[in-house]
Amino acid sequence: MSAKDKIIRLPNKHLRQRSRRVGLVDPAIQKIIQDMTDATLDWEDSRAHELGVALAAIQIDQPLRIVIIRNNFDNKSDRTFQVFINPEITKYEGDVVEDFEGCLSIADIYGKVPRHEKVRVKALNAQGKPLRLTAKGFLARVFQHEIDHNNGIVFIDHIKDNQDAFYKLQEDGQLTPLDYDKDIRTNSLLW
């Protein structure tokens, strides 16, 4: 089994369950973080046009509030991540803007998802030390997407009533609109 095979996808119902808080950041938690990193990079290596931006622990079927986020979104050769344990958004700021999102647990479907431009986040780092930060733009979007996973929410849940929000990733890397009635609304692989 390769590392990416640990990633669960819709319609797996575990993706719609709330994850529990991490108590002690012990070796078992460190192992899960390593498995998350390995799965994300192995997935990325199998994909032609996509970056493994981030992952939540439930995506490898571990119902714990852990998120990893890529340190550098612009340079694929930087394969390092920052770890956020028990992350919480303490404040939403700025306008709500729509932009494309994908998910390692939803194959080939992208959506135009409304998110706040700016969020304040508190979490523990990989050593269990508290941290606070303000995220803007794409990073703010990533935090909202990943913390949703901890709460059993996937991005398509935010746009399920918007017929124009769903796109498919084509083999050449282009995103093309999907037929809402045919491909989305009644797709048993999604709901």
Q: How far is the CB of 103 from Zn ion (least distance, A)?
A: 3
**Three-class secondary structure of residue 128 per DSSP:** coil
Considering the rule CB under 5 A, would residue 22 count as an interface residue with Zn ion?
no
Considering the rule CB under 5 A, would residue 66 count as an interface residue with Zn ion?
no
Active-site hit among 44, 98, 146, 171: 146
CB atoms within 10 A of CB 49: 11
**DSSP string across 69-91:** EES-SS-TT---EEEEEEEEEEE
Q: How far is the CB of 191 from Zn ion (least distance, A)?
A: 16
CB atoms within 10 A of CB 89: 17
C-beta of 103 vs 135, nearer to Zn ion: 103
Q: Is 117 a catalytic residue?
A: no
Considering the rule CB under 5 A, would residue 184 count as an interface residue with Zn ion?
no
Considering the rule CB under 5 A, would residue 159 count as an interface residue with Zn ion?
no
How far the first Cα of the chain sits from its last, in Å, is 27
Query: Applying CB under 5 A, which residues contact Zn ion?
Result: 103
